[in-house]
Amino acid sequence: GSGTVPHDEL
């Protein structure tokens, strides 16, 4: 997502 927390965790 742009400018927000990336959801790279599971």
Instruction: Tell me the C-alpha distance between 2 and 10, whole Å.
Output: 19
Q: How far is the CB of 8 from other proteins (least distance, A)?
A: 5
The half-sphere exposure of 2 on its side-chain side, counting CA atoms within 13 A, is: 0
Instruction: Say how many CA atoms lie within 13 Å of 5 toward its Cβ.
Output: 2
We find the least distance from the C-beta atom of residue 10 to other proteins, in angstroms, to be 5
Which residues in the 1-10 window bind other proteins by CB under 8 A? 1, 4-5, 7-10
In the complex, least distance from residue 9 CB atom to other proteins, rounded to whole angstroms: 7
Site residues, other proteins (CB under 8 A): 1, 4-5, 7-10
